Amino acid sequence: MKTYPKIGIRPIIDGRLGGIRESLEETTMNMAKAVVALFNAELKYPDGTPVVCVVADTCIGGVKEAADCADKFERENVGVSLSVTPCWCYGSETMDMNPLLPKAIWGFNGTERPGAVYLAATLAAHNQKGLPAFGIYGKDVQDMGDQHIPEDVREKLLAFARAGLAVAIMRGKSYLAIGSVSMGIAGSIVDADFFQSYLGMRNEYVDSSEILRRIQQHIFDPEEFKLALKWTREHCQEGEDFNQPKNVKSREEKDQDWEFVVKMTMIMRDLMIGNPRLVDQGYGEEAQGHHALLAGFQGQRQWTDFLPDGDFSEALLNSSFDWNGIRAPYLVATENDALNGVSMLFNYLLTNTAQIFADVRTYWSPEAVARVSGWKPEGRAADGFLHLINSGSATLDGTGKQRLGDKPVMKPHWEISDKEVDACLKATTFYPSNRDYMRGGGFSSKFVTEGGMPVTMCRLNLIKGVGPVLQIAEGWTIDLPEDVHRILDERTDKIWPTTWFVPRLTGEANFSSVYAVMANWGSNHGAISYGHIGADLITLAAMLRIPVNMHNVAQEAIFRPSAWGAFGMDSEGSDYRACQVYGPLYK
């Protein structure tokens, strides 16, 4: 992306000249400057650059200054709107009226001037006009002019900004479907109305044959291909071929497959974002790409029945590095599961980290583990665990070989070292694909995610009569004893990447047990992000008017627009009712 949306800061003031406004000008503008400093220090765009904030030219005391601010925000590509004030102001005259901008108000908790009164009055105006806004109000009273941002206010400011930027970054981008529906998977029945109405995104489509055309007609950068193939041969270790003898390809055929999947990887990226080098080859149209923030590759079965599969390409694109070095991941959904792709996108935009795409494959009860392995699960695994695994397409960052101190992590790409890239690659083996599944061959990545990482799994589903709903499960990756891992892993597809996952249990409803989480998961796939980001996902979902039907986030951490409180005291029910009344953001 060449440009990113900015955060707009609106300093709101009591407009009465003749002593009142003049006495508040500096204090009000200093609130705005304090927020700018916070956002600049803590928030980054997906390319690693600090977020850019735009402050209104003047404090806003009435409708004329509010209109001037709106004009400036439109010129400056502002995608998120935050109003701040230490005092009473004229609510409906100064409020942000743009229906597409996520908006919040921070009303200063001080006794000298009633910032909280403005906050309450203007939130009421937002609710009455159907323009939901988040309210931010510190727990403790501060002294007028105190520029310190309390921790509780800081957390809400950052939560709002992270989610708001995710909304703004998605707007106007594309989901690129390469191919069509994979094996009847519902998530790969791409719903264009959902993308347009809820995310503000457009849909682009190319047939899978476009990849084959570009390979056969050499529509890719030949110099990059030489570099990419050399890097792949040096850094991507090939594993044993476990196929039946009749399905084992010759060394020459495997070498040809390596060349094919490297070209596939380059071409899939070019289809997403374009490649100016193609202009020099006379392919100006192909050079443009599809402005895709997210893509999906059908693969099975029409492609994989006779051509090398997309496992290598998806694994590398979803990782934070390749032959060109360390860079932001390109999000690609396996089997064109657009809904799990969006789940990955939500996670990614909130964290700037690569995402694991996996089947939510198996619930292992303690009794079943003991029966087949002789080991009784203990510690976090004591109540059982989930086996997350899919056909070699998960990000290699998911190995857990990046480090923060001595702990395994997944980092934004600008924090990753060359040593950590090397560790991720050394922990990964690329096995010749299972040709009972993937008749055309290819190479599947295999690693085991290191235990001890806090992670969040989410999934977006479409429900007839309701629309989109979001599921969230915070938990941890775990390690199993080596012999136990081997026994359990080899009962399924042992050449695919494995993540052993334990959700955090609450003792209630869908989180009463690990089994309950598995039983209530809404589809066959999940998107797994580093960190416990469930609260941020709930905030983002509310901005997009997507209800959350399953989560294990503490009630006190949930942050939604003020209007949600008017739809009842039960959090889940009020979320559903509010989303139904307001409808999708871009309706």
What tens digit of pLDDT does each residue of 14-25 get? 999 999 999 999
Count of beta carbons in the 10 Å neighbourhood of residue 308? 27
**Burial of 26 by CB count in 10 Å (0-12 exposed, 13-18 middle, 19+ buried)?**
exposed
Between CA 388 and CA 372 the distance in angstroms is: 19
Taking the CA atoms of the chain, what radius of gyration do you get in angstroms? 25
Give phi and psi for 23, each to the nearest 5: -75, -15
Between CA 544 and CA 167 the distance in angstroms is: 7
pLDDT in tens, 154-199: 999 999 999 999 999 999 999 999 999 999 999 999 999 999 999 9
Specify the pLDDT at position 144. 87
In percent, how much of the chain has pLDDT > 90?
96
pLDDT in tens, 198-255: 999 999 999 999 999 999 999 999 999 999 999 999 999 999 999 999 999 999 999 9
Residue 254, token pair as written in the block: 């495997």
If residue 321 lies in a helix (H) or strand (E), which one and from where to where? strand 321-322
Specify the pLDDT at position 2. 67
Q: Which is the catalytic residue, given 221, 270, 359, 575?
A: 359
Specify the pLDDT at position 392. 81
User: Residue 40: pLDDT above 80?
Assistant: yes
DSSP three-state, residue 500? strand
- Of 393 and 468, the structure prediction assigns the larger pLDDT to 468
- Of 164 and 143, the structure prediction assigns the larger pLDDT to 164
- Reply yes or no: is the peptide bond before residue 162 cis, omega within 30 of 0: no
In this prediction, residues 471-498 reach a mean pLDDT of 97
Specify the pLDDT at position 110. 86
DSSP 361-383: EEEE-HHHHHHHHS----GGGTT
User: Residue 1: pLDDT above 60?
Assistant: no
**Beta bridge pairs of residue 475:** 455, 503
Q: Which is the catalytic residue, given 270, 335, 536, 575?
A: 335
In percent, how much of the chain has pLDDT > 70?
100
Band of the pLDDT at 96, cuts 50, 70, 90?
Answer: very high
pLDDT in tens, 456-465: 999 999 999 9
In this prediction, residues 409-416 reach a mean pLDDT of 98
- Of 382, 372, 401, 356, nearest to 492 by C-alpha is 372
Give phi and psi for 172, each to the nearest 5: 85, -5
Specify the pLDDT at position 514. 98
Q: Which residues are annotated as a binding site?
A: 335, 359, 525
- Of 191, 403, 179, nearest to 301 by C-alpha is 179
SS (H, E, C) 204-233: EEECCHHHHHHHHCCCCCHHHHHHHHHHHH
Between CA 369 and CA 541 the distance in angstroms is: 36
- Of 584, 566, 562, nearest to 99 by C-alpha is 584
**Active-site residue flag, 359:** yes
- Of 143 and 441, the structure prediction assigns the larger pLDDT to 441
User: Residue 492: pLDDT above 60?
Assistant: yes
- Of 431, 444, 185, nearest to 304 by C-alpha is 444
Specify the pLDDT at position 461. 98
Band of the pLDDT at 3, cuts 50, 70, 90?
Answer: confident
pLDDT in tens, 52-68: 999 999 999 999 999 99
Give phi and psi for 327, each to the nearest 5: -160, 170
Specify the pLDDT at position 141. 87
Domains by residue range for the chain, with CATH: 6-170 (3.40.50.1070), 174-582 (3.20.14.10)
Alpha helices in 79-237 (DSSP H): 91-94, 115-129, 151-170, 192-194, 209-216, 222-235
Between CA 152 and CA 137 the distance in angstroms is: 8
Between CA 386 and CA 381 the distance in angstroms is: 10
Band of the pLDDT at 563, cuts 50, 70, 90?
Answer: very high
Antiparallel, parallel or unpaired: β 78-85 and 202-206: unpaired
Q: Which residues are annotated as a binding site for Mn(2+)?
A: 335, 359, 525
The maximal CA–CA distance of the chain, rounded, in angstroms, is: 91
- Of 299, 350, 268, 28, nearest to 188 by C-alpha is 299
Count of beta carbons in the 10 Å neighbourhood of residue 147? 11
Chain mean pLDDT for the chain: 97
- Of 538 and 146, the structure prediction assigns the larger pLDDT to 538
**Active-site residue flag, 204:** no
Instruction: Provide the edge-to-edge strand list for the sheet that holds 53-55.
Output: 53-55, 6-11, 78-85, 103-107, 134-136
Between CA 105 and CA 97 the distance in angstroms is: 13
Give phi and psi for 461, each to the nearest 5: -130, 150
Residue 8, token pair as written in the block: 């707009």
